[in-house]
Amino acid sequence: MSSRTVFHDSIIPLPAEPGPTPGGLMVNATRPEQPDQTMNVHFSLKIADDVQSSLEERVAQGEVVPADEIAKLYTASSSERDGLVDWLNENGYQNVRISRDGVYAQAKASVVAKTLEVNMLGVTKNGVTFTSAQNAPSLPDEVANGVRSINGLQPFRQANKHFIRVPASLDLSHTAVDGPVAAIDNRPPYTVAEIRKAYNAESLGVDGNGQTIAILIDTIPAASDLTKFWAQNGLPTTIAQVDEINVGGGVLPAPTGEETLDASWTSGIAPKANIRIYASGALTFVALDAALDKIIEDLMTQPAMRQLSISLGLGETFMSPGEVQTEHIKFLHLAAAGVNIFVSSGDAGSNPDNTGHSPTGPLQAEYEASDPAVIGVGGTTLRLSATGAVNSETGWTASGGGVSRFFPRPSWQIGEGMPGGTHRLVPDVSAAADPNTGASLVFGGQSIGIGGTSWSAPVWAGFCALMNEARKNAGKPALGFLNPSLYKLSGTPAFRDITSGNNGAFHCGPGYDQVTGLGSPNVAELIARL
C-alpha cells in the first residue's frame, strides 16, 4: 500500500461520540438508511511560495499587477494538477473541472469516504443534516504533492448573510410609493439621496459611469424589485445595466432580500455603473470558491470590474485553515489585479455564533472580512436631522469586529494610533448599518426597511466606483488595493471618526477601533485625496 499525505487543515475537528458541540451543532452517528449524498469537493492547489510572497508584498503597497503577469505566475503546476485529475477520474469522481489554482469534482459520500479515507457522520445545523467528514482527508503521495487542501467535506460550514429586516413598527409610508419619493424628510428607512448626502457623495460630477461593480451572493434579485427601487429613488438605472451570472448553471434558490439589498444599493450609490451579479447557487465555501474563480476568469474581458461587494461571513473559529487559505489566494489575486473587495464585518458584534445572528459565540472576527486582501466594512447607527445633516453617528452594537486568528498584522495596520498586537484587525471602515435606522428597499414588490453590514458593504462598493470614475476623468489609472492608502488618511477629513458605541468586547474611541475601523467616509474628500 502506498503512503499517503494527510491534510489536517481541511476540516474542523468533530467529536467522536454523537451529541451537541460547543458550536451549536448536533453530531449524529450516520444511519444505514441515510442517503448516499453527492458531495462537491474542491482540491485547492498550491502556488509557489515565492510567488505568493511577492504578490502579498505588492498588494500591501497598493500596486496593481498586470493581468497577464498574474496569469503567468499565478497558476498551479500543470503536471501535478494533471496527475490529480487522472486519479479522480479513475476513482469514481465525476464532473471534474479545472480552475487556475484548483480542481473541482463530485462524488457520492461513500466514494469520498473510501478514496480520501475519511469517516462520515451526520451533522445537524439549523435543522438540516449534512453528511460530513469527521477526520482529516488524505491522498496517495503520488498525487498529493501539489494539493494545498481538500475543501467541501463539511458542508454544514456555510457563510451567513449579513442582513436584518427592520422592526415592523418602523413607519414606511414615506418610501412606499410607486414613483419618485416626493420629498426627502431624512427619517429612516433612509433613501439613496439621504445616504449620499450624509457621506458627502452628492453633486460630485460622478455617477459610476464606465464602472462595473461585481456582487457575490447565492441568487438573483427580482428585476421588478430593482426597477421599483430605482423609480422610488429617482435613479436613471435600468435593468439592462445588470448582468446575471449563474455560476453553477443549476436552479437558483429564491431571493431572501440579501441579493436585492446588494444590487439595489450598489446601483443606487453609482446609478450609471454596470452591475454583475455572480450567483453561486449555495453558500457552501466550495460554491463561493467557484464563483470567485469565475470572477477572476472574467477580469480579462471586464477591465472596468474594479469593485466587488460581498455581504457574507462566518466566525473564524468555525472555519478550516485550508479553506481560509484557499479563498485568501483568490482574494489576493483580485487585489493584485486592482479589484477592491468590500466585505461586511458581521451582524452579531464581537462574539458571533455559527449562525452569524447571535452574539453568543466565542470572541472572534468573521471571515471573509478578516482577510488582509479585502476591505472589511463595519456598521454604524446613523441619525439625520430634518435638514439631512448628520445629527449623530455611533458604533452599531452588532457591528462585527475583532482580531483575526489566521492572519498577521498587515503593514498598513502598523503605526501610531493603532491598537497593540500582532494580528489583522477588523473592520477597516464603516457606514450606516443599524436596521433600526435602516435602508429603504423593495422586496417582493413591497417597500421594506433593512439593515446590517450587508448594507454598509455595497454602499462602500458604490463609493469606490465613484472614486474610480473620478480618477478616470482625471486621466489617472484605477485605484489599487485601497487599504494602504486609506490608513494613511486616518485622522484627516476623509473620515468621520466614530468615537462612541461598542460591539460587546470593543469600544469606539478616537482613531482606529474594532467596531468602525477608520470611521465613515467623506466621499468628496476621499476623491480629492486619492
pLDDT digits (tens, 9 = 90+) for 136-163: 999 999 999 999 999 999 999 999 999 9
pLDDT at 342: 98
From the list 174, 164, 388, 169, the residue with the least C-alpha distance to 258 is: 164
Distance CA 283, CA 290 (A): 11
User: Could you report the per-residue pLDDT of 374-428, keeping only the tens digit for each?
Assistant: 999 999 999 999 989 999 999 999 999 999 999 999 999 998 889 999 999 999 9
Q: Phi and psi of 413, rounded to 5°?
A: -105, 15
User: Could you report the per-residue pLDDT of 317-374, keeping only the tens digit for each?
Assistant: 999 999 999 999 999 999 999 999 999 999 999 999 999 999 999 999 999 999 999 9
**Is beta strand 446-451 parallel, antiparallel or unpaired with respect to 439-443?**
antiparallel
From the number of C-beta atoms within 10 Å of its C-beta (0-12, 13-18, 19+), residue 93 rates as buried
The residue written with cell numbers 443606487 in the block is: 268
Is pTM beyond 0.85? Reply is: yes
User: Could you report the per-residue pLDDT of 17-48, keeping only the tens digit for each?
Assistant: 777 776 677 777 655 445 689 999 999 998 88
pLDDT at 179: 61
- Starting at the earlier edge strand, list the strands of the sheet with 312-315: 160-161, 312-315, 366-367
- For residue 92, give Cα distances in angstroms to 78, 108, 141, 269, 508: 22, 9, 19, 49, 54
Whether residue 174 has pLDDT greater than 60? no
- For residue 374, give Cα distances in angstroms to 226, 238, 245, 257, 304: 27, 29, 22, 24, 18
Rounded average pLDDT over 434-463: 96
The residue written with cell numbers 479553506 in the block is: 323
Distance CA 512, CA 396 (A): 15
Whether residue 168 has pLDDT greater than 80? no
- Name 213's bridge partners: 275, 307
pLDDT at 58: 94
Rounded average pLDDT over 484-490: 97
pLDDT at 32: 41
Q: pLDDT class for 440, splitting at 50, 70, 90?
A: very high
Q: What percent of the chain has pLDDT over 70?
A: 94
Mean model confidence pLDDT for the chain: 93
185's CB contacts (< 8 A; 6+ apart) are 174, 386
Whether residue 177 has pLDDT greater than 60? no
323's CB contacts (< 8 A; 6+ apart) are 10, 149, 151, 157, 285
